[in-house]
Amino acid sequence: MNQPVALTFTATDLDRLASAPGLVALLAEGDAPSSPAARRLDRLTRGMLTRALSSADWARVKTGDSLTLAYPAGLAAEALMLVKLPRKATALEARKAGAAIGRALGNGGAHVLAETHPQAAEISFGLAMRAYDFTPHKSGEKKHLGPVALACARPEAVAAAAAPLAALSEGVFFTRDLVNEPANVLTTEDFAARLAAMHELGLEVEILEEADLKKLGMRALLGVGQGSESPSKVVVMQWKGGKAGEAPLALVGKGVVFDTGGISIKPAGGMEEMTMDMGGAAVVAGVMRSLALRKARANVVGLVGLVENMPDGKAQRPGDVVRSMKGDTIEVINTDAEGRLVLADVLWYTQERFKPKGMIDLATLTGAIIVALGHENTGVFSNDDALCNAFLAAAKSEGEGAWRMPMGDGYDAKLKSRVADIVNSCGRDGGAITAAHFLRRFVKDDMPWIHLDIAGTALLKSESTLAPKGATGWGVMALNRLIRDHFEGKA
C-alpha cells in the first residue's frame, strides 16, 4: 500500500537554508519578513522575500494558500514557497497550508520552516495527506517524493503530537488505495486477504466464507453475488483496546467490488467508476487500521460484506424473493439496488453476535444522494439524536462535509411489497431516504444507528484540499474523531 511521505521533525537550523535542496517552504503572515528564518532567507535572496511579501500577488493569497518563487537567487532550492498562515490559524487552516506544500512536493523533498507555529503537527498532517498519489498501474516514469524535514522550535513535542495523525493518514491512504484499485485486481478474495494481513497490527480478523454465510441464513447478501465468479465473503475485524468485555462500537461497510447493476444493468457510460462501490467497506478498513496503529483505547468491531454484482445465467432476477438472516422476505424490484441487500444481513449479524453500543454503516448506496447533496456532503440518516449529533460534530471538526437527512413514516410505507414483506427499491422520488428506511428495518429498536451514504464523497473527479482527484478516504477522519472523543477510555 501507499505509505505517507517520509517526514522528520528537526530543530530550526538557519545555516541549512542556503543549501537545502528541493523546496523550501516558509510560513508567513504579514507584508514583511518577521521571523528569524524569514529574515535569513531575505538576506540570502538579496531582498527577494521583502519584495514578494509586499507585492499585490501576496496580498491576494488566502489563508492556507501559497505563492511560489522559482529558482531563488542565493538558495540551492528549486523553489521558495511562501505559505500564508497566521499564528492563530485553526487546525483545518493549518492542514490546508500543509496540503499546499504536499501538492508541490517533488523528488528533491522539502524543508518546511514551521519555527514556533503552534499548529506544526497539523501542517505535517495536511502535507502527508495531499502528497498521496496512486501509480501502481502506471508503467512510465513515476514521481518519487523526496524526504520532508519540518523545522520547528520543539521537534520532540511536535513529533509526539503528529504521531496519531500519522496513524490516521496511513488509514486514509489504505482506504484510498482500496477505492482506487481496479476490480480485476481488488477481487473479493484480494480484498479479504488485504484485511486479513492487518492481524499483524493487532486486529483480530475472521473471514466468513459462502458456506458459513449459508448456515447463518444470509440469503440477501448471497443473492447479490450469485452471478459472479468471485465468492461472496464477510470479513470481521475486531480491535480490543478498551475495557475487557465492554460492548464495542460497530462499523459496517458495503463492499461491492464491482457493480454492473446485475440483470438491471447500468448504462455503459461511467460504469468504470463502479470499482468504487466498495467504498463503505474501504472506509471501515481504514478506520480499523488507524485505530490499531495509534493503539486506540476503545473496543471497535468492523464488518464488511464483500460481493460482486454481475449479470450471468445464475444471477439474481428482478422479481425474485429472498429471505434475509433476520427472517424478513425481500422482493427484488431492481438488482441494481444491491448494496442494501448486503448491508441488511451484515447489520443483523452484527447485532446478533456483538450486541454493540452503537452501529454505523457506510455505503456508496444511491445516486439520489448525489442529486440531493452533490459532492460536498455525505448524507447522514439516524434514529438517535445523541449519536448523530456527536458524529456531525466530529465530521465538522475534521472538515468532512456531512448533512443530516430526514426520515419518516411516509417514506417507510413505500417499502410495502405485494408478494413479500418489503421491496428493495421504491423508485426515484426520495430514493436515498427510502434506501435508509430499508436498512432501518434491519436495525433493532433499541440500537443507536447511523447510515452514511457516501456515494457523492467517496471519489471525486477533481482534487480536493487534502486529496488529488480520485478516492478521498472520506469518513476515516470523522469516525476516528468520533471514537477518540466519545468511545475511548482514559489513559
What amino acid positions are annotated as catalytic residues? 266, 340
Torsion of CA 428, 424, 454, 403, to 10 degrees: 60
CA distance 128 to 395: 20
**Mind giving me the DSSP string for 168-200?**
HHHHHHHHHHHHHS-TTTS-HHHHHHHHHGGGG
CA distance 414 to 411: 6
Within 275-423, residue ranges assigned H as helices are 279-293, 339-354, 368-373, 385-397, 409-413
CA distance 147 to 33: 26
The torsion region of residue 217 among left (phi > 0), alpha (psi -120 to 50) and beta comes to left
SS3 string, 78-131, reads: CEEEEEECCCCCCHHHHHHHHHHHHHHCCCCCEEEEEECCCCHHHHHHHHHHHC
Q: Are 372 and 457 in contact (CB under 8 A)?
A: no
How many C-beta atoms surround the C-beta of residue 56 within 10 A? 6
Sheet of 378-382, strands arranged across: 204-208, 233-240, 299-309, 249-259, 358-363, 449-453, 378-382, 402-404
Query: How far from 337 is each of 15, 103, 367, 425, 450, CA to CA, in Å?
Result: 62, 38, 11, 6, 19
Select from 424, 230, 429, 430 the least CA-distant residue to 338. Answer: 424
DSSP state of 61: P
Q: Are 365 and 378 in contact (CB under 8 A)?
A: no
Rounded to the nearest 10 degrees, the angle between the axes of helix 155-180 and helix 476-486 is 130
Helix (H) or strand (E) holding 50: helix 48-53
